Structure 1
Amino acid sequence: MRTQRNSWALLIPAMIVLILIGVVIVKGLQSSTNMHATHGNRIKIVTSLNTYGEMAKAVVGNKGSVTSVLTKATIDPHDFEPTATTARLYQQADVIISNGGGYDAWSTKLAQANEQAQAINVGQLYAYQDGENEHFWYKADVTKRVTQALVKKLTQAQPTAQAYFERNAQAYLNKQNHLNKERAKVGKLLAGKTILVTEPVFNNALANDNVTIADQAFSMAVEEGETPTPTAVRAWQRLIDQGKVALVIENKQTTSQTVDAALRYAKKRGVPVVSVTETKPDGLSFAAWQTNQFKAIEKVLK
């Protein structure tokens, strides 16, 4: 009996220690689960593209911080390889914004790995289907859709700040008014015209303009990193020779000998070429970047 009593005397403190360890572990897990609402009461947002990062900063205001992974226009999102630092950013995030549509597959995968974060997939906001154009930031209503999604997700993290987030979102949308007017002006100038593009980057910006984007076999080959076939090249040249092309839109971030030759062919025959970029240039706001490109189109059309 004495021996049993001594055994229990030794076991009881050990059991207490185990219980305390269990409590600590549970608390730690709860802390990790609730980290998104408790670390200094500031919301951590991570975005794959700096375009969405700008929108997130505008809406979250002083209630959180925003980190964009791709901040340089020279980086190709398709070829980007995430590092351990990137993965850590995503794991510690409260809200994650990915483009989706296969454009930044690394971002969507890292977002899925963080089950506690609120994820915004822009492709899902547009019910994206395979084969559709994934350059969503060129859609006319992208700022409205993304800011609305942000208000919803941020409010879930800080319910008492809903009105604050809504005001910030509206203020940001108001800053897009000049861009919207310029977009509408160019839409009227393009109505009924035929254009060529070296890559379907800008196509979403023209979706509602009643403009014909011809010879898409050429641009889709460039998009896939392939060389356009001789048939596609001849079709490109034939349209220009027939005088049917109002202008050519070039993604100046992607070039090749075939693309350069196609652009020279257009310029030699008096068809204007307008350069656009796939990613937001450093130092420019989203509205300024987009407006500048529309103004360049307006200039050549006039």
Structure 2
Amino acid sequence: GGTPTGNGSTSNSQVIQVVAAENFYGDIVKQLGGSHVAVTSILSNPNVDPHEYESNVQTAIAVSKAQLVVENGNGYDAWMDRLLSASPNNSRVVLVGANIADHKLPDNPHVWYGIENMPAIAQAITAALKKLDTADASTFDSNLATFRQSLILLEQKIREINKKYRGTPVALTETIYLYQAVPEGLAMLTPFDFQKAIAEGNDPPADTVIEANNQITRKEVKILIYNAQTVTPITTNLQNKAKNLNIPVVPVSETMPPGKTYQTWMIDQLNTLQLSLATATGK
């Protein structure tokens, strides 16, 4: 029951308590839930390596009270699984981005970087919100339509980059950017085993380190796409070599920077990439 008021809320609807393991999922929940959700995002600092996160008491309390939890899964945020099992709750809805994503790359948990994964993830979040607050279902549906519409700009930008720069040889410090580099048609020269090791916080095989360095010193790559969050002496060295040779370095972050939405974060990075490709190729 409850009569809908002008702002799309109802007199009997309560605010859904949500915990997101990462702030980009938290932002998407806010866009989809509007005033009907209160979101706590745990990983929200783009200057901290997410792989080194340790949960604390506040986090545990937030998870224990949450009606909806959104995590990435696929080993990316295993600490969240520990928090969930520490406070069992049958009525809590848990969504795992990597299990919902329908365009998954092998050995690569960074599904939120795949713009084409977001409709399915947003759809699942919307379904959960409707289940927890049926009175506001129509608001959630309309927010979902708005969100999906907003992804078109990102999809167009990726197509634009593909059209102009397809086949351009690039270096990547880790696997996170493959979710955009693949649809952009860029030729990723850095050995996959190097990228995967850096992404997982391990030492890359020695031969791949030599190869990644040689690709830069020989100027076989036009740009270096650099994860500014998982920084190691090896990746710092690559970045310095690239800068010394005037190879543009394009920083990307795993965690959404403050003051951004998912969409503005992604479009800003895509614009930076496009400018760097233009500089590097003269196209």
Kindly indicate whether the alpha-carbon contact (under 8 Å) linking 1:189 and 1:298 is maintained by their aligned counterparts in 2.
Answer: no
SS of equivalent residue, structure 1 residue 245: coil
SS of equivalent residue, structure 1 residue 201: helix
Alpha-carbon distance, 1:295 to partner = 0.8
Q: 1:58 to 1:92 in 2, by over 3 A?
A: same
- Determine if the alignment matches structure 1 residue 81 to structure 2 residue 54: yes
Where does 1:57-76 land on structure 2 (aligned, <5 Å)?
57-76=30-49
Q: Deviations over 1:153-200 (max 9, x none)?
A: 111122232211100111223233333322222232331122111122
Partner of 2:107: 132
Where does 1:22-101 land on structure 2 (aligned, <5 Å)?
41-101=14-74
Letter in 2 for 1:268: N
TM-score by length of 1: 0.79
- Determine if the alignment matches structure 1 residue 225 to structure 2 residue 190: no
Kindly indicate whether the alpha-carbon contact (under 8 Å) linking 1:46 and 1:97 is maintained by their aligned counterparts in 2.
Answer: yes
Alpha-carbon distance, 1:109 to partner = 3.4
Letter in 2 for 1:56: V
Please tell me the root mean square deviation across aligned C-alpha atoms, in Å.
Answer: 2.4
Rounded to whole Å, the distance in 1 between the matches of 2:219 and 2:29 is 44
Q: Deviations over 1:197-246 (max 9, x none)?
A: 11222111223233222222322232232333442222123334554312
Q: Deviations over 1:19-64 (max 9, x none)?
A: xxxxxxxxxxxxxxxxxxxx96321111111111111111112223
Alpha-carbon distance, 1:128 to partner = 9.2
Rounded to whole Å, the distance in 1 between the matches of 2:151 and 2:170 is 26
TM-score by length of 2: 0.84
Where does 1:87-126 land on structure 2 (aligned, <5 Å)?
87-112=60-85, 113-126=88-101
Kindly indicate whether the alpha-carbon contact (under 8 Å) linking 1:199 and 1:223 is maintained by their aligned counterparts in 2.
Answer: yes
Equivalent residue pairs, number:
264
Rounded to whole Å, the distance in 2 between the matches of 1:92 and 1:266 is 47
Letter in 2 for 1:74: N
Identify which of structures 1 and 2 has the higher relative contact order when contacts are C-alpha pairs closer than 8 Å and 6+ apart: 2
Percentage of identical aligned residues:
25
- Runs (5+) with no aligned partner, structure 2: 1-11, 279-283
Alpha-carbon distance, 1:75 to partner = 3.2
Letter in 2 for 1:198: T
Letter in 2 for 1:211: L
Alpha-carbon distance, 1:69 to partner = 1.6
Rounded to whole Å, the distance in 1 between the matches of 2:185 and 2:103 is 22
**Which residue of the other structure, out of 250, 253, 268, is the alignment partner of 1:292?**
268
Rounded to whole Å, the distance in 1 between the matches of 2:235 and 2:132 is 47
Alpha-carbon distance, 1:93 to partner = 1.1
**Which residue of the other structure, out of 106, 126, 145, is the alignment partner of 1:170?**
145
- Determine if the alignment matches structure 1 residue 148 to structure 2 residue 123: yes
Name which of structure 1's ranges 241-250 and 286-295 shifts more when overlaid on structure 2.
241-250
Letter in 1 for 2:51: H
Letter in 2 for 1:212: A
Partner of 1:11: none
Rounded to whole Å, the distance in 1 between the matches of 2:181 and 2:48 is 25
Q: Deviations over 1:108-165 (max 9, x none)?
A: 3333533221111001103798962111110012331222001111111222322111
Letter in 2 for 1:125: I
